[in-house]
Every structure is written in structure tokens, then in C-alpha cells.
Amino acid sequence: MLRRRVQDILIPQFDVDANPIASTKRMYPYLLDIQSDTLSALATRIVVPLGRASFLEGEKLTRLTPTATLDSEEMLILIPQIASFPASVFKTPIGTLEHTRDEMVAALNFAIFGV
């Protein structure tokens, strides 16, 4: 059985990390971890990209793509682009968007249940 140290698997929900994919980093510079902390032992994390609002004006949908400000730049939290990434790519978070939790939960509910 593979054993990992607790600090190696704890990745707090709503942490923001740099996008590790060079080809998409310009438009989507960050990934937001939305996975529950209770699932930290999984090898993957559920994330949504944060896109530069200045590049994505046509993508802004009030209930589906909440906004957040990082480094003085408005970002869209792109709930429709939910994905999973290997947990190993998340090394050093640059911040958290915990304060946008209610907006993200509402957007997820809208995307999945239409409410």
C-alpha cells in the first residue's frame, strides 16, 4: 500500500494555482480548486479555469461565470469549463477565492440543476 504524508495530500478547497499548461496560460492564467477537502486523498483535483475578463467579454454570463479580482485584474470563474487535473501539479497556491464560495456554489447549482 502506498502511503503519503498528510501535508502531501492536503490541498485546500478554493486555492488558486498557476495554470501549468503553457499553451493556455495567457488566456487562463490560473486554476481554481473547487474539490472538497474531504477528497484530498484522490490523485486528481476538480478545478475550474480563471480566465482574463478582458479576453473573454463574450463569455461573461452573470449566474454561470462569477468574477473575482486577482493581482488587480478581473477574472471570470469559468464554471462551464470544469475539469480535473493531477493533484501533483499544484505546488504553491498564489491565493484563495474562499470569499467567492457562495457565488461559485450558485453557479455550479445553475450549471448542473438549472436553479
In a domain, 23, yes or no: yes
Structural domain of 33? 6-113
CA distance 103 to 60: 14
Q: Specify which residues 85 forms β-bridges with.
A: 45
Task: List, for residues 28-77, the tens digit of each pLDDT value.
Answer: 999 999 999 888 888 999 999 999 998 887 767 788 999 999 989 999 99
Q: What is the percent of the chain where pLDDT is above 90?
A: 70
Residue 52 lies in a domain: yes
Number of structural domains found in the chain: 1
61-67: list long-range contacts, CB under 8 Å, 24+ apart. Answer: 63/106, 63/107, 63/110, 64/107, 64/110, 64/111, 65/107, 66/100, 66/103, 66/104, 66/106, 66/107
Query: Is residue 1 assigned to a domain?
Result: no
